[in-house]
Amino acid sequence: MSVINDTLKALELRGGRGALPKAVNVPASQSGRRPLPRVALLLAVLLVAVAWAWWPTVARLLANAPVEPVVEAHEVAVEQVAEVHQAAVESVAEVTETVLADDAHSEASPAAPAVAVEPVTPPQPAPPTEPVAQVVPAPEHKPEAKPEAKPQLAIQQSPLSPAEQARQLWQQAQQADNPEPMLEQALALDPHLHPARLALIERLSQRGEGDDLLLSAARDYPQQAAYPVLAAELALAAGDNTLAEQWLSWSQRLVPEPDWRARRAVLAQQLGWLELASEDYLALLNAEPMRGTWWFGLGYARDAGRDLNGAETAYRKALASTDLSQQAREFVRDRLTVLENR
């Protein structure tokens, strides 16, 4: 329409209002665009209408997005889409106006080939994306390495006294195959444990090594009758009766333990010390009056000393006991037969 108006104004200036001069040709379009077919025009108008009808729904969905961080980007995208949509509408309107202006002169101008016009579609807004929370892994907790504890030797104190420990070792040594180490350890704990020292001297004497220990014990403990009795036994076993009598004489003024008193009584009988033997047996019978062994020993000592009445009485006591051996019983019967028939 603007082209027609410009043409009419030019004619008025020239003074030729009314009919157009034959020599003047009206250009088909000032912008040089070719007329579009009506089908393309209708498609463009329809596309714009559809986009305009759906736009409120899309905008409302975008506005209700739950994620706050994406809202600002969505609004920016909506504004950009609105601007693009407005530009597309204006472009379509301009194209429509041009097409209507060109249709008025389409009969006078030759038909131009149809140009396929691609429909203008507004860009779809990008869907909102939920913000992804960045999960920072917690630092792995490593247990602190504890310093290695140094092993400590647990020293347990024994509730037993040294003397009690020594006696316990002495009891164990009596059942051991090799008791010497236990005996030495017991004596180290308790030097006054005389039974352990006597047992050790006896074992060493079997190898000919106990003389020094025996002599030192007899000097250190002169009131212990067991050491001279043992020395007398060892001397008698070696065939030295004189040395044996010397040791027996030493022990005569002492009071030995019951076991060693019985051994001294036997030793006194062997050496002919019958009075000492009788004294020891009577002392043993005072402690154990029903012991047949002591009655037998007393009867033998009296019989050897020509105390026949005292020997007969002792033999009958021994025969009435229950602990006399069978061999001793036969000897007692024979001697009683002799004594009764004298």
Q: How do residues 291-318 score in pLDDT, each as one tens digit?
A: 999 999 999 999 999 999 999 999 999 9
Q: Which two tokens stand for residue 263?
A: 């051994």
Whole-number mean pLDDT of the chain?
75
Cα separation of 250 and 230, whole Å?
11
Residue 247 to residues 80, 101, 230, 329, Cα–Cα distance (Å): 135, 165, 8, 32
Task: Tell me the pTM.
Answer: 0.54
Specify the range with the lowest mean pLDDT, choosing from 43-57, 98-112, 325-339. Answer: 98-112
pLDDT at 27 over 70: no
Q: How do residues 203-244 score in pLDDT, each as one tens digit?
A: 999 999 999 999 999 999 999 999 999 999 999 999 999 999
All residues at 6 or more sequence positions from 103 whose CB lies less than 8 Å from its CB, including other chains: 35
pLDDT at 188 over 90: yes
Q: How do residues 265-295 score in pLDDT, each as one tens digit?
A: 999 999 999 999 999 999 999 999 999 999 9
**Mean local confidence (pLDDT), 182-189:** 95
pLDDT at 136 over 90: no
Counting residues of the chain whose pLDDT is more than 90, the rounded percentage is: 52
Counting residues of the chain whose pLDDT is more than 70, the rounded percentage is: 59
Identify the pLDDT of residue 122.
46
